[in-house]
A and B are shown apart, each in its own frame.
Chain A
Amino acid sequence: MRGLLCFLLLCCWACVAAAATVQGVIFDEETRNPLARTRVTLVPLPGNPAAAVSLLANERGAYVFNGVQPGWYLIRSARTGYAVAEYGQYRPGLPGTPIEVTEQTTGDGSADSRLIVMRRQAAITGTVVDDNSVGIAGWPLNVYTARQPIRRIAQGTTDDRGNFRVGELDPGTYIVRSSGGGLEDATTLVPAYYKYATAVTAAEPVRVRLGETQGFVVIHTVEGKLFELTGEVTPADKRPANITLITDTGRRLVGSATGPFLAKDVPPGPVEILVESQSCAGYQKLLVDRNMFARVNCLALTPPAVEGTESNPLIARRLDLDGPGPEDALVSGRSLSPGHWEFTVRPAPSEYLVAVQNEGEPAPDKAATPAALDGWFALDVGSAPHLRVTLSAMPASISGAVSSASKPVPGAPVFLQLLNPQAPELGLQTWNGRADAQGNFAFAGLAPGSYRLMSSFDVDYDDPLARDKSVVLTLHEGDAVTQLLDMIRQ
């Protein structure tokens, strides 16, 4: 017994002796004030057996990780309203520099205090104005991604002066659009894009960068006709049901029981009607260009039959006109409301996802193969879906080493992008990886296709310089490609 105790004590001593401390402070880039209660995560590099550890900075923005095992790590911080930051970034938005923790790392002096500077996410401000350039108070507006597929990702409402602010945006290009509705004198406004457009093709995109507030986005509203949509949900037995009208500027309840319903002030364009009750559900999509009548059948739902993915759950997200819903693993017995859904599977590295198809209702279009989009497969789902998942056991892989001046770069960031065959300048799916302590990297479970590969600490991946210097590889099923990468430097 005494021997066992001595052994345990010895083990503990060995652990403590081998462990180190990593500490630092988180600051706001703009004010240089500390950011209290920021989530800080110590992320081990590939090859480091330690687990990621997370904590909240204290009220002075300071963080301390005790008992850190020697090895290579990234220090990453996350906070609402700020871009995710990493210690040692050349500038916000770029990948950080890993640190090597040794038994001597204590971080008790300023030299070892790891400061992380966080930059705000982007914001767009502007005004929704009437025909006299007077701001319209309390008017809803929407923000969409400018890149295909155009998706609504945020919304706002104007204040008493008609001004708006939509914050917490990722850097990128957006389209801003006012909603439709009625003014004081029953004048009706149709949805209008910044600056003067009613068609998306004439919309002026707004580009925002990290930390920036893009101002003066003035949307000039446009008078136009809004329509009435009457309809009936059958069977019209007045059972409690939520009847939701969805457009690309939002959604609203238009009825609370099956039977007749009425929706006023419907903007021209595509409209979805979703019916959900405890015992049935229904869906219809129509193109509104006049006052219309719609009949929606509320049908009993059957949980989807899923084939082909026994080991990995099928992940589903609903995609309505007003944007994607939350991602959720499809559990057995759970029904899907009819409508438009996207599906994916996160397979093991020994497989890749080939396709997800619906072989149930509505009848599949045999001629059309569902297209993968960011790894997601879009499908229309009816009352009795039958989802078939096809996985391939012959994925491609890429591995190699990153070096700079012929020396391996520990923890080098490696960026891999699946290219869109129709538009090679656009990526379909991206992976952000890291090299291990010896500069070696590996990506497995890849589908066939063309990929762009690069490594850099100080160049944006969508920078033309990076694009020119990156490596483009074409992978076939089962390929195992080895690629050496030179670190790109500005």
Chain B
Amino acid sequence: MRLLALLLFSVCAQAAIVEGVVLDEETGLPLARTQVNLVPLPGTQADTTPVRTGPRGSFVILSVRPGWYLVRATRRGYAPTESGQLKPGRPGHAFEVADDRASGFLEVRMSHLPAITGTVLDENDIGIPKWTVHVYTAGKPVRHVAQTVTDDRGNYRIGELDPGSYLLRSGPGPLEDQTQLLATYSRAALELAESIPVSAHIGETLLNVIIRPIKGKLFTLSGNLIPAPGRSATLTLVTDTGRREVASAYDVAMPFTAAGVQPGAVELIVKGIDFQGNECGSYTRLAVDKDMTGLRVACSPVAPLTLSVTGGYLKGPLLLRRVDLDGAGESHPLLFNEMLIPGYWEVNVPPGDYYVQSVRNAGAQATRAGAWYGFDTGSYTRLTIQLSSKPGTIAGVVSTRGNPVAGAPIFLFQTSSGQTWTGRADPRGNYSMGGLAPGTYNIVSGFDMDTGDPSTARKSDTVSASEGNTTTHALELVLQ
């Protein structure tokens, strides 16, 4: 018993306390039940410790091992926040926890994620109630990220957006007298090129984004849905303003009609079960500019995906997600013998001691967008991933006026793919960004960096990574 007490004392003597409070930046009110993580810097021998704030927004983390840490808070509707941030959305400052001492009382102020509000107006400036409004990313690739419905006054609000540039667009549909409205970008544009993007910043609500829907003709698609004999299938129509199930069939062909289809790209996706009890499906992409009849869509057999990885071993499961006109679906780990319904898919390769040389499907090079590789697939998918076990590394020291900066945030951009990595220096200012493909990168360190700001790239250094080598690059902390 005495031995146990001694042991406990010795453990406690080595451990410290980190405590603080999480507050709402705007109102100063405490944020109860917020997730708080104590994250060790590289080089600190500790695991991330998660806690939740109490009813008055306070948190206490006991038995913290000495070292350097960040406190990171996350909460629904708020931007992830780190203690010691210069501004909302910026990286926080790391702090040192010494033996047997409290680290001081931390105050973490969280800001709301951006929101956009506005009105969908008719030709007389009267708000149109219960009308769908869609939000798309303004940067390439343009993707549908959220949608809402106007209230009784035609007003809408879309919150919980990441900071960035967006396009707002009203959905298509009929008015009371069957006047048809086309999907229209804010303020009154049918074409993407004529749309006016809006910028949403953390903590801000962007007001009065007006959309004036334009009248036009919506079209009707009709044809037959053909299921496998003795089995069922469903047909889903997808546009860049949403999706709807238009038909289901069992055993025999079923005619379908989809009215009110906006002009432009349309996807017809069939999903069902084939005669062997496996998944079946098909994918048809159309450019609709008139009523279309006689369409035939069938539930065709789909072969299981085959995967070939060469040049290394994956450090985790591949993530897959389907991307249709209405946006990217939820990602999921690739399953054994998974059958991909035809269409456009993206795969994400987990990071490791390698880099991705190429991703191909049936010999065709996948399209890279950030960390995702996209490919079209039909009735079969033969995915080949070529890894290289000789990745490049960029490493060095971050300093300011000759002094190393503990826990300095590192931002690394690959110029060819647009992929971004973030990291932290260790307590002595050393950083190391590994697993890189050969090529040119921009790198910068600073506590007031906005990765979405073009001026960030101008403040960065250009560094080349080469296969199997470590490129040493000293970074001067950028002070705004």
> Which residues from chain A sit less than 8 Å from chain B, CB to CB?
28, 31, 33-37, 39, 56, 59-61, 80-81, 120-121, 123, 130-134, 137-138, 159-161, 165, 167-168, 183-185, 187
Question: CA of A187 to CA of B32 in the docked complex: distance in angstroms?
Answer: 11
Is there contact, CB below 8 Å, between A37 and B179?
A: yes
Given A81-B153, A134-B32, A161 and B176 touching (CB < 8 A)? no
Is there contact, CB below 8 Å, between A187 and B33?
A: yes
Residues of A within 8 A of B152 (CB): 81, 120-121, 123, 165, 167-168
Is there contact, CB below 8 Å, between A134 and B29?
A: yes
Please name the residue on chain B nearest to A79 by beta carbon.
Answer: B176
Least distance between B68 CB and chain A CB atoms (Å): 28
Is there contact, CB below 8 Å, between A56 and B176?
A: yes
Least distance between B299 CB and chain A CB atoms (Å): 23
Is there contact, CB below 8 Å, between B175 and A37?
A: yes
Determine whether B187 belongs to the interface, using a CB cutoff of 8 Å to chain A: no
Residues of A within 8 A of B27 (CB): 133-134
Least distance between A214 CB and chain B CB atoms (Å): 13
Is there contact, CB below 8 Å, between A165 and B151?
A: yes
Least distance between B47 CB and chain A CB atoms (Å): 21
Question: CA of A434 to CA of B123 in the docked complex: distance in angstroms?
Answer: 36
Question: CA of A87 to CA of B176 in the docked complex: distance in angstroms?
Answer: 21
Residues of B within 8 A of A60 (CB): 124
Residues of B within 8 A of A185 (CB): 33, 52
Residues of A within 8 A of B176 (CB): 37, 39, 56, 80
Question: CA of A343 to CA of B113 in the docked complex: distance in angstroms?
Answer: 50
Question: CA of A3 to CA of B369 in the docked complex: distance in angstroms?
Answer: 83
**Further contacts, 12 of them, CB under 8 A, given A31-B126, A138-B76, A167-B151:** A28-B126, A33-B125, A34-B124, A35-B124, A36-B123, A37-B179, A61-B124, A80-B176, A131-B55, A133-B29, A160-B159, A160-B160
Residues of B within 8 A of A120 (CB): 152-153
Is there contact, CB below 8 Å, between A160 and B113?
A: yes
Question: CA of A185 to CA of B54 in the docked complex: distance in angstroms?
Answer: 10
Contact of A159 among B29, B30, B159 (CB under 8 A): B159
Residues facing A in B147-168 (CB within 8 A) are 151-153, 157, 159-160
Residues facing A in B29-84 (CB within 8 A) are 29-35, 52, 55-57, 75-77
Is there contact, CB below 8 Å, between A137 and B76?
A: yes
Residues of B within 8 A of A165 (CB): 151-152
Residues facing A in B246-266 (CB within 8 A) are none
- Of the four ranges (under 10, 10 to 19, 20 to 34, 35 or more), the interface on chain B belongs to 35 or more
> Which residues from chain B sit less than 8 Å from chain A, CB to CB?
24, 27, 29-35, 52, 55-57, 75-77, 112-113, 115, 122-126, 129-130, 151-153, 157, 159-160, 175-177, 179
Least distance between A161 CB and chain B CB atoms (Å): 7
Least distance between A37 CB and chain B CB atoms (Å): 4
Given A36-B126, A37-B175, A160-B160, A134 and B31 touching (CB < 8 A)? yes
A-B CB contact pairs (8 Å), 23 listed: A33-B124, A33-B126, A36-B122, A36-B124, A36-B126, A37-B176, A56-B176, A60-B124, A61-B124, A81-B129, A121-B152, A137-B76, A137-B159, A159-B115, A159-B157, A159-B159, A160-B113, A161-B77, A167-B153, A168-B129, A183-B33, A184-B35, A184-B76
Please name the residue on chain B nearest to A213 by beta carbon.
Answer: B153
Please name the residue on chain B nearest to A123 by beta carbon.
Answer: B152
User: What 4 pairs between A and B have smallest CB-CB spacing?
Assistant: A160-B159, A167-B152, A37-B176, A185-B33
Question: CA of A33 to CA of B124 in the docked complex: distance in angstroms?
Answer: 6
Least distance between A300 CB and chain B CB atoms (Å): 26
Is there contact, CB below 8 Å, between B124 and A137?
A: no
Least distance between B132 CB and chain A CB atoms (Å): 15
Residues of A within 8 A of B31 (CB): 132, 134
Contact of A37 among B24, B57, B129, B177 (CB under 8 A): B177
Question: CA of A28 to CA of B124 in the docked complex: distance in angstroms?
Answer: 10
Residues of A within 8 A of B56 (CB): 132
Please name the residue on chain B nearest to A187 by beta carbon.
Answer: B33
Q: Which of B34, B55, B77, B123 has the most CB of A within 10 A?
A: B77
Least distance between B213 CB and chain A CB atoms (Å): 13
Residues of B within 8 A of A28 (CB): 126
Is there contact, CB below 8 Å, between B126 and A35?
A: yes
Residues of A within 8 A of B157 (CB): 159-160
Please name the residue on chain B nearest to A58 by beta carbon.
Answer: B177
Please name the residue on chain A nearest to B55 by beta carbon.
Answer: A131
